[in-house]
């Protein structure tokens, strides 16, 4: 039986076909605790930007806000990458989650999965259920320089989810969709690199516009911490705008956003 996991070198081959793809240094593992944790350790030991870590399986996958990421299925995609940012890091670092989500959603749509959309800031949703997630972290942060670490997991496999995830997660086999993981991952890496370069030169305007085009519709009731209200759009900085029942518009810099009512509010 042919093993099509990223460990088999297919990512390097796919990157070689992409403009600038050979600039990435790829480390393909069988099992690790977390591709992002592994990459962070490499950075602490002197690794530089454009370092990529993939794995067939994670034993301690990590999600946003300290959540775990279910990583038992060896057919899934687990990948992390580092990028150097130059400029106002207070502005650039919060934009990395948006850019990583846009690059992923665009790549999935180009692969034929037209139903995928983004939940702020970068969850990948199909039919309201989570197909993939992205965790963004940073190292060596100064006011003008930083290393961004972006880790992504995409449910490409077929294994059943734990009971607590069955109603909120989905995998591609259930959708009847096959993803060329290596080609998708390579495209995501070079597209994300392009978006980050654009951010550093031009700012966030085009990125925010593209996120809005790919995002789930506004007008949904959500809760984030103590804030609850109706989503109305994104701020110029890419923050989610929520109108509370009291009429105030709050911009959310981060956090876990929960949908309170899945029906769109007129």
pLDDT in tens, 192-216: 999 999 999 999 999 999 999 999 9
Supply the pTM of this predicted model. Answer: 0.89
Q: Which pair of tokens denotes residue 104?
A: 């992923």
Distance from C-alpha of 155 to C-alpha of 153, rounded to nearest angstrom: 7
- Does 240 map to a domain? yes
Burial readout 8-27 (b: 16 or more C-beta within 10 A, e: otherwise): eebbbebbeebeebeebbbb
Q: Is residue 122 part of a domain?
A: yes
Residues 224 and 64: beta-carbon distance below 8 Å: no
Q: Are residues 86 and 162 in the same domain?
A: yes
Domain co-membership, 194 together with 233 = no
1: in domain: no
**Least reliable range by pLDDT among 12-16, 39-43, 128-132, 174-178:** 174-178
To which residue do tokens 């992002």 refer?
Answer: 36
- Give the chain's domain count: 2
pLDDT of residue 173: 82
266 falls within a domain: no
At 64 the pLDDT is 53
* Same structural domain, 96 and 184: yes
Looking at the domain assignment, is residue 179 inside a domain? yes
In the numeric block, the tokens 């981060």 are attached to: 254
Question: Are 41 and 170 contained in the same domain?
Answer: yes
- pLDDT confidence of residue 265: 44
Cα–Cα dist 223/128, whole Å: 16
Q: What is the CATH number of the domain that holds 241?
A: 2.30.30
State whether 164 and 189 are in the same domain: yes
Q: Which of 235, 225, 232, 230 is nearest to 257 (CA)?
A: 225
Whether the CB-CB separation of 170 and 130 falls below 8 Å is answered with yes
- Within a domain: 204: yes
Residue 12: domain span: 6-214
Residue 95 lies in a domain: yes
Mean pLDDT on 97-116: 97
The pLDDT tens digits of the residues spanning 132-174 come to 999 999 999 999 999 999 999 999 876 666 656 656 788 888 7
């Amino acid at each position: 039986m042919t093993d099509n996991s990223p460990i088999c070198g297919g990512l390097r081959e796919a990157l070689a076909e992409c403009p600038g793809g050979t600039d990435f240094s790829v480390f393909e593992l069988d099992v690790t605790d977390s591709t992002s944790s592994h990459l962070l350790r490499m950075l602490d030991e002197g690794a530089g930007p454009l370092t990529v870590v993939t794995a067939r399986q994670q034993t301690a996958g990590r999600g946003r806000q300290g959540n775990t990421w279910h990583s038992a299925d060896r057919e899934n995609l687990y990948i992390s990458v580092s990028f150097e940012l130059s400029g106002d890091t207070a502005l650039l670092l919060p934009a990395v989650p948006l850019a990583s989500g846009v690059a992923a959603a665009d790549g999935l749509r180009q692969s034929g999965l037209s139903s995928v959309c983004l939940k702020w800031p970068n969850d990948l949703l199909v039919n309201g259920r989570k197909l993939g997630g992205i965790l963004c972290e940073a190292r060596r942060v100064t006011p003008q320089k930083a290393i961004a670490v972006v880790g992504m997991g995409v449910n490409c496999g077929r294994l059943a989810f734990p009971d607590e995830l069955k109603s909120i997660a989905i995998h591609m086999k259930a959708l009847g969709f096959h993803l060329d993981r290596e080609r998708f991952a390579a495209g995501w890496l070079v597209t994300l690199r392009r978006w980050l370069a654009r951010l550093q030169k031009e700012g966030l305007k085009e990125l925010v516009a593209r996120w809005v085009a790919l995002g789930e519709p506004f007008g949904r009731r959500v809760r984030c911490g103590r804030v609850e209200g109706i989503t109305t759009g994104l701020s110029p900085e890419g923050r989610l705008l929520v109108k509370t029942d009291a009429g105030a518009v709050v911009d959310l810099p981060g956090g876990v956003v929960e949908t309170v009512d899945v029906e769109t509010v007129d």
